[in-house]
A = this chain, B = another copy of it.
Amino acid sequence: MPNSKLYKGSLTTIILKLLSEQEKMYGYEITQKVKELTKGELNITEGALYPSLHKLEANGLLEVEVVKVDNRLRKYYKLTNNGTKETVNKLEELQSYLKTMQSLIGKLA
């Protein structure tokens, strides 16, 4: 009934993919976007998201811009050049994994 759990290791790729399509996004926006795109199937928890964003920033894949909107802070993240490169790698890796798993699991007995 609830939403499927994240298979560990996929969150980073999801974040990078979204930012490759949208130029800049803030954390809360990412959680909502994923919920929307997956029709509630996948819920990114903030406890996973924020540390992940911080790590991507620390590794130089994302850069931050803090903006005040309606007296509330928003931290917009966008891909750096390295981030864009890594996105390609991570996407290929995950694609290949999904394909492999489909061929392993997908065909019915």
Contact = CB atoms under 8 A, between A and B. Distances in A.
The quantity of this chain's copies bound in the complex is 2
Given A17-B105, A21-B109, A41-B96, 8 more contacts: A7-B8, A7-B10, A10-B101, A13-B105, A20-B109, A37-B104, A38-B100, A91-B105
A97 B14 CA distance: 13
10 contacts: A4-B100, A8-B9, A14-B104, A17-B104, A20-B109, A37-B104, A38-B103, A41-B96, A42-B100, A94-B101
User: Taking chain A's interface residues, is the majority helix, strand, or loop, or is none over half, making it mixed?
Assistant: helix
B100 A95 contact: no
A8 B5 CA distance: 11
A45 interface: no
A106 to B, nearest CB: 7
A42 to B, nearest CB: 6
Interface string A83-109: 000000001011111101111111001
A56 interface: no
